[in-house]
């Protein structure tokens, strides 16, 4: 992923009001390892249900405001993030909703999907089981997972931006 500035992140938000953008907390950008990310994702550190995803679409950053559901999946079962396709305990996957962009979002239309609760899919796809055979193919495996994550994120973003 290409590096982003605070101004680029704020200007990229496609489904948030000006007030939401103004009070949007930013992650530590100086600490971000951009080469190991397909997108920048973070939750509001104040404990609100808000989260943010910013990624590049063609040559422009696109930011999405998401909100975590107040209910969770039943503990003790498995779940899978719809972006990174990583199976994990149900407590680590949350239903997020995102208002559509433009008038549709202002009218209350939204899209929902299950995503890693910490929005850290870029980290999840880089965790490879420790078998020697998989470690030899690690770079190829991560590249395939990265391409899949980017494709699914682009589709999710396209659905948010649909006007009808």
pLDDT digits (tens, 9 = 90+) for 73-110: 888 889 999 999 999 999 999 999 999 988 888 888 99
153 sits in which H/E element: helix 138-161
Residue 129: its pLDDT value, please?
Answer: 76
pLDDT of residue 139: 87
Determine the Cα angle at 9 with ends 35 and 13, to 5°: 125
Residue 137 has pLDDT above 90, yes or no: no
Asked if 15 contacts 101 with a C-beta cutoff of 8 angstroms, the reply is: yes
pTM: 0.91
Measured between alpha carbons, how far is 65 from 97 in angstroms, rounded to an integer?
9
């Amino acid at each position: 992923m290409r590096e982003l500035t605070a101004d680029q992140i704020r200007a990229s938000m496609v489904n948030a009001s000006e007030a939401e953008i103004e009070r949007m907390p930013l992650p530590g950008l100086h600490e971000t390892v951009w080469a190991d990310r397909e997108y920048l994702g973070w939750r509001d550190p104040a404990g609100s249900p808000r989260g943010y995803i910013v990624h590049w679409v063609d040559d422009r950053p696109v930011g999405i405001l998401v909100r975590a559901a107040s209910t969770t999946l039943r503990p003790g079962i498995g779940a899978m993030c719809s972006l990174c396709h990583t199976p994990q305990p149900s407590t680590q996957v949350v239903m997020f909703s995102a208002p559509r962009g433009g008038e549709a979002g202002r009218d209350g239309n939204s899209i929902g999907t299950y995503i890693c609760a910490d929005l850290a899919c870029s980290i999840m796809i880089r965790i490879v089981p420790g078998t020697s055979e998989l470690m030899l193919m690690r770079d190829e495996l991560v590249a395939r997972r990265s391409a899949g994550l980017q494709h699914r994120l682009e589709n999710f973003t396209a659905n948010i931006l649909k006007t009808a």
